[in-house]
Amino acid sequence: LSSWANVPAGPPDPILGISEAFKADKNPRKINLGVGAYRDEHGKPYVLQTVKKAEEAIRDQIPDKEYLPITGLPEFTARAALLAYGADSDPLTRGAISVTQSISGTGALRIGGAFLARHYPHAKAIYLPTPTWGNHIPLFRDSGLEVRSYRYFDKENVSLDFEGLKSDLLSAPEGSVVLLHACAHNPTGIDPTPEQWAIISDVVKEKKLFPFFDMAYQGFASGDIARDAFAVRHFVAQGHQVALAQSFAKNMGLYGERTGAFSLTVADPEEKARVDSQLKIIIRPMYSNPPAHGARIASTILGDTALYSQWESEVKGMAERIITMREKIYSLLTHDLKTPGEWGHIKSQIGMFSFTGLKPDQTKAMAEKAHIYMTADGRISMAGLNAGNVQYFAESVDAVVR
Ligand code: PLP
């Protein structure tokens, strides 16, 4: 008898399952709006020009494949922290940010979860927005935290349930951890306004909650690096200690290179040294040390003035292409097709995704009748749309809602 005879079959991953159905579909008009990876105006994966240039520079400079330190490439982590916190950040200028390279954003969240489970001295419960990125739930549970939720989305109005959010955070036990999407909330595409962030910061302070920011889309949301970092920088300026997970998957298109960083703001350099030592103790038995190539690319781009400004315009270009698609869908549905319903949210939502408001039976019909694939909750990855397929997409939405 096999040792694994009693292993039960698990459910397929909800997002990767969509890609499989998409692959099996032979219709030439098929569209995959499931996976959150950028596509260019021809629907093709996109490698940034700055990434290509950085790779050339690296090939010429770095002859070996030696291990990186446990916490990664020091120039990379320093530049990643600078990008997130900003040059005038108080903890940054005081040497009070403990930062480590991570296996992209997911790995950063996982290191953070493990660090909090081991060292956070208060309630080891983490509050996640409903809905949230699907992987947050098992990720934090597997890190050893108790997963709870706070209201975020108002289904009725396809908007932020700000009253629900405040009331749930106000009734969380003092000292709990709260996970905040720094920008481009996944899956809803709805972010708090700067005024609402200021109120959330006050609530977090009042209840002594610990803010853990997941910033997977810096620059990708608005096209502006500083603007997308507003929430993180505001909380830090308000005197909060924060945890931060950063990913370079989307804003540099480094998906498979697994390039990210985890950081904590700490009291002072002496405390930083102690926290750094514990991050190493967590990471060493997990994966020993991180992959080098993506960190070298990101570090090269962030550390070179000319490459950096070219990268800023490339990020802006990706964000703007998505914003243009939002406007196009809105105008097709509202003006051209006169599709029943209110579609303003498609235009006002931000980032890679849009919550269309399509119901599960409608998303099923989109796949079966129109060969357009999305998650059952009606979320679409805007990046999968382009000038060549947006009209067909809008007509298909129009057909399923009538
Ligand atoms: N957090 C959120 C909200 C995301 O949407 C993603 C990716 O889709 C991630 C984290 C992590 O992605 P990665 O591990 O590829 O950096």
Mean pLDDT by 10 residues, the chain (402 residues): 96 82 94 92 94 95 89 98 98 98 98 98 97 96 98 92 98 97 96 98 98 97 96 98 98 98 98 98 98 97 98 96 95 96 93 92 95 94 94 97 93
Residue among 394, 344, 391 at smallest CA distance from 366:
394
CB 191 near ligand 1, within 6 Å: no
Residue 19: its pLDDT value, please? 86
- pLDDT of 226 reads 97
Separation CA 254–CA 293 (nearest Å): 10
pLDDT number for residue 391 = 96
The pair of structure tokens assigned to 221 is: 């949301």
The answer to whether the beta carbons of residues 94 and 266 sit under 8 Å apart is no
Give the pLDDT score at 125: 98
What integer pLDDT is reported at residue 14 of this predicted model?
76
User: Which residue has tokens 């997308």?
Assistant: 228
Q: Of 288, 308, 295, nearest to 62 (Cα)?
A: 295
Residues near 113 by beta carbon (within 8 Å), at least 6 away in sequence: 126, 139, 140, 142, 143, 144, 145
Q: What pLDDT shows up at residue 16?
A: 76
What is the rounded CA–CA span in Å between residue 355 and residue 344?
Answer: 11
Nearest to 133 by CA among 270, 6, 15, 253: 15
Pocket flag, ligand 1, residue 381 (CB < 6 Å):
no
How far is it, in rounded angstroms, from Cα 118 to Cα 394?
49
Q: Are 400 and 366 in contact (CB under 8 A)?
A: yes
Residue 214 annotated to the active site? yes
Nearest ligand 1 atom to the CA of 104 is: 16
Q: Is 208 a residue of the active site?
A: no
The bridge status of strand 146-151 relative to strand 125-130 is parallel
Collapse the DSSP code of 149 into the 3-class scheme (helix H, G, I; strand E, B; otherwise coil) and give the result. strand
User: Is 166 marked active-site?
Assistant: no
- Outline where 186-241 has alpha helix (H): 194-206, 225-228, 230-237
For the chain, helix (H) and strand (E) counts, in that order, are 16, 13
Is there a contact between 253 and 51 (Cβ–Cβ < 8 Å)? yes
Do 242 and 212 form a contact (C-beta atoms < 8 A)?
yes
Six token digits for residue 204: 């977090």
Q: Helices 293-302 and 49-61, interaxial angle, to 10°?
A: 110
**Of the listed 161, 168, 191, 214, which one is catalytic?**
214
What is the structure's pLDDT at 13?
A: 80
Q: Ligand 1, from 186, 188, 254, 355: best to mutate by most atoms within 8 Å of Cβ?
A: 186
